[in-house]
Amino acid sequence: SKLIYVGSYLLERLAQLGVTSMFGVPGDFNLGFLDLVEDHPSMEWIGNCNELNASYAADGYARVNERSIGVLTTTFGVGELSAVNGIAGAFSEHVPILHIVGVPNTMQLKNKPMLHHTLGDGRFDAYTKAAEQFTVSQATLMNKTTAAYEIDRVLNDCITTRRPVYLTLPTDICYEKIPSDRLKVHLTSIPPENDEDVETFVLDEIVKLVETAGQDVVILVDACAGRHHVKAELKDLLTKTHFPVYAAPMGKSVVSESYDRYGGIYVGSISHPDIKEKVESAKLVISVGSLRSDFNTGNFTYSVPARKTIELHSDHIMVLHAKFPDIGMKRLLPKLTARLQPYKEEAKLLEVPLYKIVVPQEDNNLISHAWFWPRVGQFFRPKDVIVAETGTSSFGILDVPLPDDAVFLSQVLWGSIGWTVGSTLGAALAARDLGLGRTILFIGDGSIQLTVQELSSMVRVGVKPIIFVLNNSGYTIERYLHGKERKYNDISNWKWTSLLNVLGGEGASESYTVHTKDDLSKLLEDPTFAKAEKIQLVEVMMDKFDAPRGLKMQTELSGKTNKYVTVESTV
Amino acid sequence: SKLIYVGSYLLERLAQLGVTSMFGVPGDFNLGFLDLVEDHPSMEWIGNCNELNASYAADGYARVNERSIGVLTTTFGVGELSAVNGIAGAFSEHVPILHIVGVPNTMQLKNKPMLHHTLGDGRFDAYTKAAEQFTVSQATLMNKTTAAYEIDRVLNDCITTRRPVYLTLPTDICYEKIPSDRLKVHLTSIPPENDEDVETFVLDEIVKLVETAGQDVVILVDACAGRHHVKAELKDLLTKTHFPVYAAPMGKSVVSESYDRYGGIYVGSISHPDIKEKVESAKLVISVGSLRSDFNTGNFTYSVPARKTIELHSDHIMVLHAKFPDIGMKRLLPKLTARLQPYKEEAKLLEVPLYKIVVPQEDNNLISHAWFWPRVGQFFRPKDVIVAETGTSSFGILDVPLPDDAVFLSQVLWGSIGWTVGSTLGAALAARDLGLGRTILFIGDGSIQLTVQELSSMVRVGVKPIIFVLNNSGYTIERYLHGKERKYNDISNWKWTSLLNVLGGEGASESYTVHTKDDLSKLLEDPTFAKAEKIQLVEVMMDKFDAPRGLKMQTELSGKTNKYVTVESTV
Ligand SMILES: Cc1ncc(C[n+]2csc(CCOP(=O)(O)OP(=O)(O)O)c2C)c(N)n1
Ligand SMILES: Cc1ncc(C[n+]2csc(CCOP(=O)(O)OP(=O)(O)O)c2C)c(N)n1
Ligand SMILES: [Mg+2]
Ligand SMILES: [Mg+2]
């Protein structure tokens, strides 16, 4: 069989998985591998400004190119450790990333000299030990005999668990030659069949509960429905059963938000009253891919007790209080749909609130959150990729119905600010490959400062996102939590509209400041702006103390505004 | 005794240690603590743009304010993990940093709900486990009874080992009240007395070896001499013995470079031939605080075998091949000086090469490395703080003698690019407090892109460094290692002279581009520029393939330019 470099074997596997762009920063221990990447016919090397941003980009790429994975390449120590937060975030939010680290050669790994990028005390395993905390699987390629197997093992773990994995590539191993036969058998993320007996038992149980509920059933969609690829199965379930469906914040856009049986976002006590009532009064809730984090549940204020909930997960099913390990939803869902179809007529009678939002009339021209979010909602188009940063943006966007086939990215559980900048780069590249629409980012003036340099990579690779920077003089979300007037919540004001020019975008970008509702409306109605044929940045002037409904409710409800840490008593 | 908050106890300890500025980024789990910081009379909160930059700033601060420590405050998960690389770098390079992490309250830490910033799987200890790899000591304050003890324990480890430590501060514990009496006893970094018998034995051995060597002795100064505070003891040794002294790159500026018995930088095979000859032909080398990393030794090309070397360390002494554990140099040095003083007359006869550099005559006006470094050398003044980024800068600066009491910062072992930007902020703040001179940074166009936003913090806090950005169209140091013409070594060209304006510096900053030797000389001779009363950025246009002597030698010597990874065969 044909011999190929270990590095090339790895690249072929990635190509098979549909990876088209790889992210990272060069460093002397990965340069040889980067030669292979640069020379690969179908792979594009996206050199990022720094490694954290690169990990965010790989994350955003994986979320949009959801059949594939994100790939991050860094160098030993300094590079890989810069990306730890990005990888941990991908772990937390179930995003598959392969982190390839170029490391010294195997002789050095054994002899442990005091190389640059080491801790100076001979501990060469410290970085891997750290990585073990934040990845589901790790491999160090120490010889060519097992290299292909090890690569396949971590990749397999990555695509099946939808979580990050870690691979160290010593400089010498990268150029060892190995047989390529294994490549003929592709890796697959499709889970094996469930145990038939248990599965049938579970299905029977569910059908019984649906009957008992008099078909008063609601479907609740969450993060892992998207991450574990059951969108199609879910759509089938919905259209064939007509059950009303709602989404948690992390499940937003998994089900089309224009679907007539879709009622909007359920997030415990901070849901719209209508939605709250409908979800909580249902006799039975079938929850798909749930992830019950504080901000995804309105600070743990779900009033949907286990005794009326069926939870479908990628690797287990909960029927009320009973757990069925190793039964996965991917295989179960089609069978469930077939069994539930007969209940469709009754389900049709269940009313679903109309999920829409009206642009309010306000008696001044300032851009308030109450006005801003519905207004930009009118600007969205089918297939747009919409990214919202933690802060007022991530709360504001929740009330806005997104168009058909829109893709929504936010980091509700991990909530690392700055993430969206890298993530928008990755998302825009994936969107380009998949023929999706515009990529539109909403980000606060505080958050963008963490990772701002990655705008330069967007310019360089030629993606054209529209970036709304909410200029509200600092960390507004934090002012709501604590320290309203504190200096530590202030930030430096930048010349936002010159940023793209300085970062390499002169001629290739446009920037605007909007002070009023009229300014913004005019811009949104400008067809050239809407076409997004250049990268564009819009500085949106907002009041320091204004916030969207959701954020205000969160703090009002808990009655703790300005007390120390809102979530303190939620357990 | 007076009761104070745990958070206040911590701040008082830091104030006692001479900490005046604290770095970090707010987050909901540290906001309460930040109230205490903001209200503290002698502590300044420096809000950074992101956590990695903040850790770099704490590092730079600690290196300049060398009797004190750096302090970094971040939030649970997202914040702390963003700083891992910065902390690991401080570990590697022996820089004392206290990393304070604001974490959920103790009830939540016990019950482990799915809070934002968690991994979603209930592992609340993952971040601490990662921190264990990169800090010498960790504490989680779980109750008020042991809080003061635990704070003192980690601080004590920090100041004695001169390495980073990790402290998690739960939101509730921060505001628990505890007695303040312990504060009366200050913490001290001065090591205990050495065992007298062993110490005397070691001294006898050393004196015997000096005699045997016919007083042909050379002192070699390295990183840990500075880090472990033996500058004064060392100076005393030098002036009383008159032994010639040389420095490793990491020991640069520990001994005044204008001292007439100082011969310059010894870095194995890439040393100047004169220096190499003198050091390697000496009969005995007394090495102080050595740290034998690849780049600190010319890729392990020291020709100073153990059989003619005495190594003084903070926690042990090596006499030729014999190790004496637990004998530290801080206590030993004064006694050694007393014993060696009698050999002064003979030592005076040993010749020391003059460490100076001449600005070469070149027949064109382009700014070459060969010309640039000696030229800027003429610009330096006593007490300037000089920071050099990994890349052509860190090699170029080595040949330039620094003036008296200049402070030199570089990351020779860890070598994480972007570090100098944060580090310059911290260094400039410490320099301001200590009444030092200007802070002058040399950084490549590639490196500055990693951490550029921190220029904005410099503007905000009002420090006025001079920043030389070497614009050589990408990663030149890497081109010398591998991939000379590869695209992955290219970067995006920014409008460098508009950067400070965009990042909040309009009116408060000046920026310049110099294309020629004449341009640069004119600027350096401009008294307004030299006074540095505003923050200033100088874009220095250089050839893509030009490099300083040291870097060229490193790659030529190893004869491996453009082979895969230069350091590959050095073990
Ligand atoms: C990496 C990281 N550091 C710190 C935080 C804490 N934090 C959460 S939101 C926020 C402020 C965001 O401010 P901005 O982006 O301006 O949003 P807005 O003003 O619209 O709320 C901060 C500092 C975090 N979540 N992640
Ligand atoms: C955090 C980090 N990422 C990557 C590297 C690998 N690296 C070492 S030097 C360098 C290029 C530096 O380029 P530049 O700052 O332009 O310096 P110059 O061109 O003057 O050599 C890179 C990418 C590193 N050392 N640290
Ligand atoms: Mg803001
Ligand atoms: Mg460069």
Number of Cβ within a 10 Å radius of residue B523: 18
Looking at the DSSP bridge assignments, the partners of residue A514 are A540
CA of A477 to the centre of ligand 1 (A): 7
Distance separating alpha carbons of residues A532 and B152, to the nearest angstrom: 57
Q: If you ran DSSP here, which 8-state letter would residue B232 be given?
A: H
CA–CA separation, B515 and A508 (whole Å) = 26
Structure tokens at A362: 């306000």
Tokens of B204: 């006898």
Low-confidence ranges of chain B (pLDDT < 70): 557-571
Give me the pLDDT at residue A556, please: 75
Q: Does residue A78 have its Cβ closer than 6 Å to ligand 2?
A: yes
Burial A249-261 (b: 16+ CB within 10 A, else e): bbbbbbbbbeeeb
**Token pair for residue B93?**
């390079």
Residue with tokens 């009532």: A277
pLDDT tens-place string over residues A273-291: 999 999 999 999 999 999 9
- B482 contact A CB<8A: yes
> How many helices and strands, by DSSP H and E, does chain B display?
25, 21
Q: Find the ligand nearest to B551 CA.
A: 2
Selected for mutation to probe chain A from B45, B136, B450 (highest A CB count within 10 Å) is B450
Q: Identify the residue whose tokens are 């200033």.
A: B536
**What are the φ/ψ torsions at residue A304 (nearest 5 degrees)?**
-130, 85
Distance in angstroms (rounded) separating the CA atoms of residues A153 and A161 = 12
Q: Is there a catalytic annotation at residue A94?
A: no
Atom of ligand 1 nearest to the CA of B78: 1
pLDDT digits (tens, 9 = 90+) for A444-483: 999 999 999 999 999 999 999 999 999 999 999 999 999 9
Which pLDDT belongs to residue A495?
A: 98
Which residues of chain A are modeled with pLDDT < 70? 557-571
CA angle A75–A79–A81, rounded 5-degree value: 125
CB A232 within 8 A of CB A240: no
Distance CA B309, CA A210 (A): 83
Number of the ligand 2 atom closest to the C-alpha atom of B445: 16
The closest of B372, B395, B397 to B384, measured between CA atoms, is B397
Q: What is the pLDDT of residue B431?
A: 98
- The answer, as to whether pTM is greater than 0.80, is yes
Residues 167-186 of A with CB under 8 A from B: 171-172, 175
Q: How far apart are CA B470 and CA B367, in angstroms?
A: 10
Residue B519 · residue B448 · CB < 8 Å: no
Q: Is position A79 annotated as part of the catalytic site? A: no
* Contact of A245 with A257, CB cutoff 8 Å: no
Interface check for A129 against chain B (CB to CB < 8 A): the answer is yes
Determine whether A364 is exposed, middle or buried from the number of CB atoms within 10 Å of its CB (0-12, 13-18, 19+).
exposed
Q: Which of A532, A288, A539 is nearest to A431 (CA)?
A: A532
- The verdict on B118 touching A (C-beta cutoff 8 Å) is yes
Burial of residue B520, with CB atoms counted within 10 A of its CB: 0-12 exposed, 13-18 middle, 19 or more buried: buried
- Three-class secondary structure of residue B22 per DSSP: strand
Q: Identify whether the C-beta of residue A458 lies closer than 8 Å to the C-beta of residue A534.
A: no
Among candidate residues A423, A526, A548, A550, the one with its CA nearest the CA of residue A85: A423
Q: How far is the CA of B35 from the centre of ligand 3 (A)?
A: 19
**pLDDT, tens digit, for every residue of A294-333?**
999 988 888 889 999 999 999 999 999 999 999 999 999 9
Model pLDDT, residue B559 = 53
Pocket test for ligand 2, best of B53, B394, B467, B478 (most atoms within 8 A of CB): B478
Angle at A351 between CA A345 and CA A356, to 5 degrees: 130
- The C-alpha angle A561, A409, A550, rounded to 5 degrees, equals 25
B131 vs A369: CA distance, rounded Å: 39
Environment class of residue A2 by beta-carbon count within 10 Å: exposed (0-12), middle (13-18) or buried (19+)? exposed
pLDDT computed for residue A277 by the predictor: 95
φ and ψ at residue B106, rounded to 5 degrees: -65, -30
Q: Which of A50, A78, A100 has most ligand 2 atoms within 8 Å of its beta carbon, as the pocket-test mutant?
A: A78
Separation between Cα atoms, residue A410 and residue A397, nearest integer Å:
10
Residue of minimum CA distance from atom 10 in ligand 1: A475
Q: Which of A388, A417, A389, A416 is nearest to A402 (CA)?
A: A388
Partner B contacted by A301 (CB < 8 A): no
How confident is the model over A325-379, as pLDDT tens digits?
999 999 999 999 999 999 898 889 899 998 899 999 999 999 999 999 999 999 9
Average pLDDT of chain A? 95
b/e sequence B4-42, b meaning 16+ C-beta within 10 Å = bbbbbbbbbbbeebebbbbbbbbbbbbbbbbbbbeebee
Q: Is the interface score ipTM higher than 0.85? A: yes
**Cβ neighbour number for residue A454 with a 10 Å cutoff:** 28
Q: Is A519 a residue of the active site?
A: no
Both structure tokens of A390:
């933690």
CA B437 distance to own-chain centroid = 18
